[in-house]
Amino acid sequence: MVRYRRNFAPAGTFFFTVTLNDRRSSVLVDHVAALRTAFRTAREKKHFTVEAIVILPDHLHTVMTLPPDDADFSDRWRQIKSHFTRSVVAAGLPVSANHRGEYALWQRRFWEHTIRNERDFERCVDYIHYNPVKHGLVSSATEWPHSSLHRYIRDGILTPDWGSSGSPDNGDFGERKD
């Protein structure tokens, strides 16, 4: 059995990838309002700050910061996933159950990376904002509606042409070249 090692750091900032079981699904963007509600509901129970986020059809990426004296990001993800799943099932989405009777909408685990410094933070946020272009969903990052990029532009942190094909920001965010 694989043993996952998580870095539970109070007040830490983390990059997460959370994925649906069915990688062909579009349920996250089809029900984006329910996902936003799930985030708000979880945040009301256990505070966290979403530094950056992109919601794609079958997965999402986010950078999240936890409050001081709290390192429990796993429970936050459990709450978000659970609330969203209950919401879409109540709305009539047919979701199968696994052998334990649990809804099988999400992959059981998530990928997590502890942000180490400001450069690492910037690289992860850039990766998040460019991800819809990387997946071929849009030709310019600003075309994707489900992204915190729009907040970054509104706040003057990034320019309106950031992440477009003609932009100097071409999406090379330190990923391995296979």
Is 124 within the bounds of a domain? Answer: no
Is 91 within the bounds of a domain? Answer: yes
DSSP secondary structure code for residue 103 in this structure: B
Please tell me the pTM assigned to this model: 0.86
Overall domain count for the chain: 1
Q: Which of 79, 90, 89, 11 is nearest to 40 (CA)?
A: 79
- Name beta bridge partners: 60: 18, 55
Is 166 within the bounds of a domain? Answer: no
* pLDDT in 10s for each residue of the chain, 178 residues: 555 566 666 678 999 999 999 999 999 999 999 999 999 999 999 999 999 999 999 999 999 999 998 889 999 999 999 999 999 999 988 888 877 878 889 998 889 999 999 999 999 999 999 999 999 999 999 999 999 999 999 999 999 989 875 444 445 544 444 4
Is 42 within the bounds of a domain? Answer: yes
- Domain residues for the domain of 67 are 13-116
Q: What is the CATH number of the domain that holds 50?
A: 3.30.70.1290
Residue type at 51 in one-letter notation: E
Is 34 within the bounds of a domain? Answer: yes
Q: What's the full length of the chain, in residues? A: 178
CA–CA dist 10, 45 (Å, integer): 17
Is 45 within the bounds of a domain? Answer: yes
Residue type at 10 in one-letter notation: P
